[in-house]
Copies of this chain bind each other. A is one copy, B any other.
Amino acid sequence: MTAYRPTPRTTPTRYRERARYDRKTVHDILDEALVCHLGYLGAGGPVVLPTTHARHGETLYLHGSTGGGPMLAARAAKASGSGLPVCVTATLVDALVLARAAMHHSVNFRSVVVRGDARVVDDPAEKSRALRCLLDHIRPGRAADCRAPNERELAATGVLALDLVEVSAKVRTGAPVDDPEDVALPHWAGVVPLRLTAGTPAPAVDLDPATPVPSYLHP
């Protein structure tokens, strides 16, 4: 697959962090991350909010209440004929990295930064598709196994779309990188792997006990 257009460099590459622009790396991170952080310029300055997202091909969908800040800002931008300039960042933390030197401590992580003008999705077909993607992002298969939104609910839900054009991923993997003169110091060095693990599904108290746990929730 072809590469994305790089975002402007905001931080220099250091340690074993590597900027990546290939689509598979970007897609995998966006698909694995359960939430992202949406940044935009609010009336009082920058605003960063956690939100759920889903990728459909080369489009990232975000949703929220039609009365929420991002949606109101995007609606206002649309009224003046433009999209809402945003930055959407998804980050996965894979390990703590402990070096002998304070300076070389780090975190193994994978992140994607997407910048661009988000547009409000008003087309009913695209909106429904986006909401199905958001449900399947929770667990693939869920969209087909719940009650679809009715007209009132659809009207109360805002959807933003952001095309994956100006995109970069950054990935740090591996061990700490100490300076040679520090290697013999008596401090422990290495990585502590981290993983987001799912526990046993807990049914709602009012769920019919005969309802089986769906296969898409099995570990």
Write the residues of chain A forming the contact surface with B, with a CB cutoff of 8 angstroms: 8-12, 14, 34-35, 37-50, 52, 64-65, 67-70, 85-89, 91, 93, 96, 98-103, 105, 107, 109, 111, 113, 115, 131, 134-135, 138-139, 142-143, 145-149, 153, 156-157, 175-176, 178, 182-208, 211-214, 217
Q: In the complex where A46-B46, A46-B87 touch, is A187 in contact with B147 (Cβ < 8 A)?
A: yes
Copy tally for this chain in the complex stands at 2
Closest to A86 in B: B46
Chain B hits for A178, CB < 8 A: 204
Asked if A93 contacts B49 (CB within 8 A), the reply is no
Interface centre among A45, A153, A156, A196 (most CB of B within 10 A): A45
A200–B54 Cα distance when bound, in Å, is: 32
Q: Is the CB of B183 within 8 A of A191?
A: no
Pick the residue among B12, B34, B40 that contacts A46 (CB under 8 A). B40
With A48-B113, A49-B89, A87-B39 given, is the CB distance from A195 to B196 under 8 Å?
A: yes
Distance from A31 Cβ to chain B, minimum over Cβ atoms (Å)? 15
A69-B11, A194-B199, A199-B192 known; A50+B205 contact, CB < 8 A: no
Q: Which of A35, A115, A175, A206 has the most CB of B within 10 A?
A: A206
